[in-house]
Homo-oligomer: A and B are copies of this chain.
Amino acid sequence: MRVAVIGVGMTKFGKHPDKSLVDLFAYAFFEALEDANIELKNVEAIYFGNFVGEMTDGSANLSGFVADEVGLKNIPAIRYEGACASSSVAFREAVRAVKAGYYNCVAVGGAEKLLSAGTAIGTRALAMAVDGVYEMTAGLTFPGVFALAARYYAKKYEIPLQKLREMMAQVSVKNHKYGAANPKAQFYGKYGDLKVEDVLNSRMICSPLTLLDCCPMTDGGSAVIVANEKFAKEVCDNSVYVLGTGQASGGSLFRQGEDIIKAIPRKIAAEMAFREAKITPKDVDFVEVHDCFTIAEIIALEAMGFFEYGTACYATAEGVTSIDGDLPVNPDGGLIGKGHPVGATGTSQIYTAVKQLRNEFKWNQVEDARIAMTDTLGGDFGTLVNIILGVD
């Protein structure tokens, strides 16, 4: 029995100071429910991803409140937290539960409120995704982790740092361009015609990363409906199927060494997903990867097996990852252009993948897309999840 995604929803990403995390999930949930054309009573469980509701809403233990808010008190509802990968972990677990026959139909989603929390709380909260005892206390925040990665990448692959910066900037130009065209994106209508120089000359955040090398802080919610094939076929004729999933863990940065740029746990997770889907990277039509920083997109594409180590930067610069290239990457703008509401990011990637595979992503539609892959990274290579989706 295959597992299908039969409905997707998401809020506009951006600033939602008037909405709680529960509100943001509920909005996305009901859009997904309507998209799936099912009734509330069909949803048997909720898998909810959230990173730091404790810091932004003063709320942990949100799964019960989420269930209650949408009218589904009494069903099992579970909160997953794996930093930026929270709702991807939730999605994978939901898929496996449906595949095992525990449920016919469940909802998966996530929510986060980092933009309206303000920069100070947002930065402190994000830093909780690194090791809180040894790494954060040493002053490490996320721009620092990926600035280290960029420098290591340049050194390891013998690329002059300025040359790498220029290639990284092209990731930003591309993702901002796609984000600017996506009405659900935080930067809809903005930064659509950036130039490499704009990225290089924007404010330095943590050398060599400038402001435009970084994804923004974001409020938002996303949700998808997951069902078994039998139920899916009863209610809709545009199912997208889950072909394979993978998950692995990293760990302390000081023990990772070369893994910072080789992202071995991600390689393991991606290979797990490819094996289950019985396909190879060549079969994938487009990908949604975790571009929390420009260098992160490059590292992700290599570890996932799409490019040799040390070469994805060149591929990006050559346009291979553009929508009209061989492997479109982040056609919705990615984290950089669409925004990154941490707990909601994973299922927002699924949203895009499903819309694209149904040929409904009219803003930046990848032509003839049949197979999509998503990639989410939680923390400094701590939680890695890859999902492969496809249509018949």
Contact call A61/B79, Cβ cutoff below 8 A? no
Q: Which of these, B57, B96, B129, B265, contacts A102 with CB under 8 Å?
A: B96
**A147-155, A177-185, A243-251 - the one binding chain B:** A243-251
Q: Which of these, B133, B255, B381, contacts A22 with CB under 8 Å?
A: B133
**A136 vs B57: C-alpha distance in the bound complex, in angstroms?**
10
**A62-70, A167-175, A349-357 - the one binding chain B:** A62-70
Is A32 positioned at the interface, with any CB of B under 8 Å from its CB?
Answer: no
User: Can you list, as one digit per residue, whether each of A72-100 has a CB less than 8 Å from chain B (1) or not (0)?
Assistant: 11111111111100000100010011011
Which residue on chain B has the smallest CB distance to residue A127? Answer: B58
Contact call A57/B250, Cβ cutoff below 8 A? no
Is A8 positioned at the interface, with any CB of B under 8 Å from its CB?
Answer: no
Copies in the complex: 2
Is A376 positioned at the interface, with any CB of B under 8 Å from its CB?
Answer: no
Contact call A78/B73, Cβ cutoff below 8 A? no
Contact call A128/B252, Cβ cutoff below 8 A? no
Contact call B73/A128, Cβ cutoff below 8 A? no
User: Can you list, as one digit per residue, whether each of A119-143 has a CB less than 8 Å from chain B (1) or not (0)?
Assistant: 0000001011111110011000000
CB proximity of A259 to chain B, nearest CB, Å: 9
Is A51 positioned at the interface, with any CB of B under 8 Å from its CB?
Answer: yes
Which residue on chain B has the smallest CB distance to residue A246? Answer: B76
Known contacts A67-B251, A75-B249, A59 near B133 by CB under 8 Å: yes
Residue in A22, A255, A264, A383 whose Cβ sees the most chain B Cβ within 10 Å: A383
Which residue on chain B has the smallest CB distance to residue A59? Answer: B132
Q: Which of these, B58, B72, B129, contacts A132 with CB under 8 Å?
A: B58
Residue in A46, A51, A65, A378 whose Cβ sees the most chain B Cβ within 10 Å: A65
How many A residues have CB within 8 A of the partner chain? 64
Is A382 positioned at the interface, with any CB of B under 8 Å from its CB?
Answer: yes
Known contacts A79-B81, A80-B78, A131-B59, A100 near B93 by CB under 8 Å: no
Q: Which of these, B57, B60, B75, B78, contacts A93 with CB under 8 Å?
A: B78
Contact call A128/B382, Cβ cutoff below 8 A? no
**A85 vs B77: C-alpha distance in the bound complex, in angstroms?**
12
**A127 vs B79: C-alpha distance in the bound complex, in angstroms?**
17
CB proximity of A255 to chain B, nearest CB, Å: 6
Which residue on chain B has the smallest CB distance to residue A71? Answer: B251
Q: Which of these, B67, B97, B128, B383, contacts A249 with CB under 8 Å?
A: B67
Is A283 positioned at the interface, with any CB of B under 8 Å from its CB?
Answer: no
Is A53 positioned at the interface, with any CB of B under 8 Å from its CB?
Answer: yes
Contact call B265/A61, Cβ cutoff below 8 A? no
Which residue on chain B has the smallest CB distance to residue A378? Answer: B61
Contact call A59/B128, Cβ cutoff below 8 A? yes
CB proximity of A183 to chain B, nearest CB, Å: 28
Q: Which of these, B136, B249, B378, contacts A74 with CB under 8 Å?
A: B249
**A53 vs B248: C-alpha distance in the bound complex, in angstroms?**
21
Q: Which residues of B contact A248 (CB under 8 A)?
A: 74-76
Q: Which of these, B54, B59, B129, contacts A61 with CB under 8 Å?
A: B129
Is A52 positioned at the interface, with any CB of B under 8 Å from its CB?
Answer: yes
**A251 vs B265: C-alpha distance in the bound complex, in angstroms?**
37
Q: Which of these, B74, B76, B89, contacts A78 with CB under 8 Å?
A: B89
Known contacts A80-B80, A82-B79, A96-B100, A251 near B382 by CB under 8 Å: no
Question: Can you list 15 contacts pairing A with B, beta carbon distance less than 8 Å?
Answer: A51-B60, A60-B81, A61-B130, A61-B382, A63-B383, A64-B249, A64-B250, A64-B382, A68-B251, A68-B255, A73-B251, A73-B265, A78-B89, A79-B81, A97-B100
Nearest 5 A-B pairs (CB), nearest first?
A68-B251, A59-B132, A64-B382, A100-B100, A58-B132
